[in-house]
């Protein structure tokens, strides 16, 4: 439901429209005098737009097509808002009464049965053939060129995701603060947020591409995890309209939220990267944070300030780092995903399986500490260019829960 301030803005706009029909030029200052604090710019923009439309409507020289297009857009927004309010009112009893909330919400939206939905077509920002990524090792000139092209694609893709996430924030908030208010962001996109019992996954988005609902697993009591789930589903709504229109829903488990691997070009990795910029935007990110060697103290500080998971905080820190650094997440001795800073030259990646001698491998053994730091040859961790330099890396690894080990690696320059 809209907040008191939002309702006040809506009432003022409604009154302005009515007064404009009976008064040639209503005084905007009188409406701004009753505006909730901090929302003056939003109200001014809305009133100026309405004023322009009305002026064009009654000026013979104005383009009828332009005026009609503006009025048509307003009518579409009004219809969308009415659908959203109807869904908001009906959603609670529907979700609580159903053992299959995805199907119930699809029915409420007038969407087809979720179980009958076919596999969606490729909905990523880049075409499906871009998934054939560079896998070469070592270095002929051809391989070096391939790597440069591959890396340029990755960087371009991530910048696009960053720009879209932060553009959305600028359009939504006039005074953006940390932690980002994902509930307000969802409502502005006409997405309702509900809790429900979900078997086998943490969250889902059900939508026809216009309005919809984000459902979060009731069993998830961790607020950072809940916020990240909402951010992830907002990302699907913004980025992956073709898939939504093909099947009507996204259903995501913990494995999906841990997929930050740019190189697979999947919708899940796109949603995670978009969500990380949405929840930890550059405009709120300390400019000098990347100047020092990344540590878990930095990761935990970012996670606390922005109220996000350690995975999201670690990736954002590494991507902003001015050092040759890397974050690696592993489980049962196998690397799940990693992210490199932008300072590396040439192709490299962590080994698929943890090697003996690394702190992360020690943490897989029973009876060890939860947090270890070691310095060792880069070849213990990496294959590729950095390993051939015969330099060392400083490793800081930490066990989180029973399943995952996070490792921060920084090249000793």
pLDDT in tens, 350-377: 999 999 989 999 998 887 888 999 999 9
**pLDDT score of 31:** 85
Residue 126 or 173, more confident: 173
Residue in the structure block whose two tokens are 């390993």 = 387
Q: Is the pLDDT of residue 134 over 60?
A: no
- Is the pLDDT score of 317 beyond 80? yes
Alpha carbon distance 285, 282 (integer Å): 5
- 95 confidence band (pLDDT: 50, 70, 90): low
Higher pLDDT pick, 21 / 42: 42
Supply the DSSP string of 352-385, one letter for each residue: SBPPTTSHHHHHTSTT--SEEEEEEEGGGTEEEH
According to the model, what pLDDT value does residue 17 have?
A: 79
Q: What is the pLDDT of residues 230-271, one digit of tens each?
A: 999 999 999 988 887 777 778 766 555 555 555 556 788 889
Q: What is the pLDDT of residue 145?
A: 62
Question: Out of 69-73, 75-79, 131-135, which region has the weakest mean confidence (pLDDT)?
Answer: 131-135
Helix axes 267-279, 310-320, angle to 10 degrees: 80
E-strand ranges in 222-277 read 249-252
H-helix segments, 126-222: 141-172, 182-188
- Segment 120-149 shows an average pLDDT of 48
Most confident among 75-79, 113-117, 130-134, 203-207 (mean pLDDT)? 203-207
Tokens 């391939």 appear where? 146
Where in 295-356 does DSSP place strands (E)?
Answer: 325-331, 334-340, 348-350
């Amino acid at each position: 439901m809209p907040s008191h301030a939002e309702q006040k803005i809506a009432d003022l706009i409604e009154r302005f429209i009515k007064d404009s029909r009976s008064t040639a030029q209503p005084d905007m200052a009188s409406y701004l005098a009753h505006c909730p604090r901090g929302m003056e710019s939003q109200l001014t923009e809305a009133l100026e737009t309405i004023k322009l439309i009305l002026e064009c409507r009654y000026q013979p020289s104005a383009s009828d097509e332009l005026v009609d297009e503006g009025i048509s857009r307003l009518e579409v927004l009004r219809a969308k808002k009415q659908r959203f309010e109807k869904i908001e009112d009906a959603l609670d009893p529907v979700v609580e009464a159903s053992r299959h909330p995805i199907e119930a919400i699809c029915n409420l939206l007038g969407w087809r049965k979720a179980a009958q939905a076919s596999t969606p077509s490729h909905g990523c920002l880049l075409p499906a053939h871009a998934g054939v990524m560079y896998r070469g090792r070592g270095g002929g000139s051809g391989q070096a060129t391939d790597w440069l092209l591959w890396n340029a694609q990755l960087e371009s893709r991530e910048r696009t995701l960053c720009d879209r996430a932060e553009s959305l924030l600028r359009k939504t908030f006039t005074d953006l603060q940390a932690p980002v208010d994902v509930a307000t962001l969802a409502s502005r996109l006409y997405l309702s947020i509900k809790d429900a019992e979900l078997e086998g996954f943490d969250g889902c988005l059900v939508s026809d591409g216009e309005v919809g609902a984000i459902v979060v697993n009731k069993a998830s009591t961790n607020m950072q995890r809940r916020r990240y789930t909402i951010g992830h589903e907002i990302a699907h709504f913004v980025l992956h309209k073709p898939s939504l229109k093909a099947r009507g829903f996204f259903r995501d488990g913990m494995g999906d939220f841990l997929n930050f691997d740019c190189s697979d070009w999947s919708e899940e990795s796109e949603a995670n990267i978009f969500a990380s910029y949405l929840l930890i935007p550059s405009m709120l990110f300390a400019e000098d944070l990347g100047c020092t060697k990344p540590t878990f103290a930095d990761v935990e500080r970012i996670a606390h300030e922005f109220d996000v998971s350690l995975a999201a905080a670690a990736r954002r820190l590494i991507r902003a780092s001015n050092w040759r650094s890397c974050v690696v997440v592993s489980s049962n001795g196998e690397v799940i995903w990693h992210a490199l800073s932008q300072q590396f030259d040439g192709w490299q990646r962590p080994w698929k399986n943890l090697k003996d001698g690394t702190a992360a491998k020690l943490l897989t053994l029973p009876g060890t500490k939860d947090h270890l730091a070691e310095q060792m040859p880069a070849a213990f961790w990496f294959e590729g260019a950095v390993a051939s330099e015969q330099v060392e890396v400083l490793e800081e690894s930490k066990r989180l829960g029973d399943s995952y080990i996070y490792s921060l690696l920084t090249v000793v320059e």
